[in-house]
Amino acid sequence: MSAAAPDVFPPTMWSMVRLAVAEGRPGADQALDELCRLYEKPILIYILRAGHALEIAQDLKQAFFEQLLAKNALADAEATRVKLRAFLITKLQSFLIDRHRHDMAQKRGGGRVENFADLSETQALLAEPVDQMTPLIAFQRQWMETLAATAMEQLRADYAARGQADLHAAIAPFITSSSEESIAALSLRLGRPEGTLKSDISRLRAKCQSLIRDQIGATLDDPTPANIDAELRELMGCRG
């Protein structure tokens, strides 16, 4: 996501986009297109886990978003004030059912799941359904990863704008405790006191958590702290 994206989508992104599309405001199509681009990975993951080969899944994803970009696709959301994640997954499930029915009407003896011959081993493991709930769980896990990745990119851009790109690159792995370097070793390498580095990391983690909450709030129609907490708990519950 580009550094300019936060300006395109204020904290009330979902309600703002719906309102813009409903009222035909200038720029509504571009805003919705950017929203779709941002959340395309969860959509693709769901389609893959539903049993479609990669090439077919990519075509289905594209067709789904083309349909979604029609202004009337948001009519239901405007009436029900549903959150973005629920809106997208409901529309996607309906789209896949309609596409399946259409395909079955075009040929007899159809209905088999696409084979995985054209996928790599990793992609095949990702795409192979384990149970009925797997596509939804995979969708929600990728949704959370998308939110986190967007927050991380915003952090990187912010540090770079302040001339601290090297510091960010050095301490970013500590957000998830994935750094192979100790704080003591990093202190020696950067010539920065350990206490200062610990404060740097603490601030970075806090800012990352705040940005993730902002990202979640942007997908809700009513982004109260309680609603953000509830959405975060639900998403984190799918990561186990």
Task: Name the least confident of 33-37, 112-116, 199-203, 218-222.
Answer: 112-116
Predicted TM-score of the model (pTM): 0.74
In this prediction, residue 162 has a pLDDT band, given cuts at 50, 70 and 90, of: very high
Q: What was the pLDDT predicted at 57?
A: 92
Distance CA 172, CA 107 (A): 52
Whether the predicted pLDDT of 86 surpasses 90: no
Output the six-digit token pair for 179: 């750094």
Whether the predicted pLDDT of 27 surpasses 90: no
Average pLDDT over residues 11-38: 72
Residue that the structure tokens 């790109």 belong to = 165
Output the six-digit token pair for 153: 């990119």
Q: How many domains does the chain have?
A: 1
Q: What was the pLDDT predicted at 75?
A: 67
Closest among 10, 57, 12, 9 to 35, alpha carbons compared = 9
Longest dimension (CA), the chain: 71
170 Cβ contact list (under 8 Å, min separation 6):
186, 189, 190
Domain hosting 50: range is 5-236
142-159 pLDDT per residue, tens: 999 999 999 999 999 999
Whether the predicted pLDDT of 130 surpasses 50: no
Residue that the structure tokens 């409903």 belong to = 22
Dihedral sign (CA 11, 8, 1, 155): negative
